[in-house]
């Protein structure tokens, strides 16, 4: 599962998680599981004025299904490697169906 594999490399990286309810949370990824549930440390809401009630929460566990985007630092992505990983994934899927 490429996307899970990918998120595992983001461990301890600072990311911004954008939820489907428009809330954006910045924090350090502490763990990700195969459902892409995300555990954030040092989390803070990007727009504190709009979501003041979130400001007291430091550590969060975000259910994977409510995440819309995860903004990641580009430096943490190895594009060439990701391309190859994608190719492998596609190849595997093709082999699986064929």
Partner 1 sequence: MSFFGFDAMLARDRGHSASAPGFGQTPDAFAGLGGGVAGDDDAIDFEDTYDGLGDGLDETDDAFNDDTFGGGPASQQSVGKDFDFAGQTSKIAHTLQEEQMLYQTQQPPSHQQRPPPPKPSKPARTGYESYHDPNYIPQLEARADIWGLKPKHPVPAKQPENQAPPPPQPAKKMMSLEEVEAMIRAQTLQHEEPAPVLIQPQQAQPPPLPVHPHQQVPHSQPHFPGIPGQGQFVPQILQRPQQPQQPQQPQHAQQHGPHQRSGSRHQQVHAELPGHSVQAPPVHHPTILQRQRPPPNEPSIQQHRHAPPQPTAQRPASQPRQILQNPSRLSGQGQPMAQPGPPASRGPAPGHSRGPSYPSMVVTNPEQLLHLSKEEREAFLAEDAKRAKRNHKIALLSKDNGLMTPQDKNFITRIQLQQLMTATGNLNEQTPEAAIAEDFYYQVFSQIRGALRQTPHQPASQFAQTYLFQTNGRYGPGRRHGRGADNHMQRMEQQVQRAVEAAKAKPKAKQLTIEGSLGKISFSNSKTPRPLLSMKRPESTDKQPSKPHKVSVADRTETLRNIENVYMTLMHMEDHERTLPAPINQDSDPEAIQRHMEWRTKIETLHKKLWDDIKIMEPINPNPLTPHPFIAILSHAKGKKAIPRIFRHIDEQERITILTMVVIHLDKLNVVSHGIATPEEPLSPALRDEIELFLHSVVPPLYAHIFESPLNIIIGLLGLILERNNVHVVARTKIGMSLLIMLISRAELLKQPPEINVVDWENWTELYNRLFDAVEPILPLIFPGSINDTDDMYVWQFLAAMGVGASPEQQQRLVIGVKDRVMETVGVSKALPPEMAGARLANVNLFMRAIGLDVELLG
Q: Toward partner 1, which CB reaches closer, 4 or 69?
A: 4
Considering only residues 44 to 73 of the shown chain, the ones binding partner 1 according to CB under 8 A are 73
Token match 């990641």: residue?
Answer: 72
The sign of the dihedral angle between the CA atoms of 54, 67, 32, 61 is positive
Q: Toward partner 1, which CB reaches closer, 50 or 88?
A: 88
In the bound complex, what is the minimum distance in angstroms from residue 80's beta carbon to partner 1? 5
E runs forming strands in 20-95? 24-32, 38-45, 60-62, 67-71
Select from 37, 76, 93, 97 the one that contacts partner 1 (CB under 8 A): 76
| Residue 19 · residue 51 · CB < 8 Å | no
Select from 72, 74, 93, 97 the one that contacts partner 1 (CB under 8 A): 74
């Amino acid at each position: 599962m490429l996307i899970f594999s990918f998120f595992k490399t983001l461990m301890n990286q600072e990311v911004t998680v954008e939820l489907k309810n428009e809330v954006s949370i910045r924090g350090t990824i502490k763990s990700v599981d195969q459902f892409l549930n995300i555990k954030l440390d040092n989390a803070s809401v990007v727009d504190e004025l709009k979501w003041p009630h979130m400001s007291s929460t430091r550590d969060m566990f975000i259910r994977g299904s409510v995440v819309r985007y995860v903004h990641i630092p580009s430096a943490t992505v190895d594009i060439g490697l990701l391309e190859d990983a994608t190719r492998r994934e596609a190849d595997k899927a093709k082999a699986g169906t064929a």
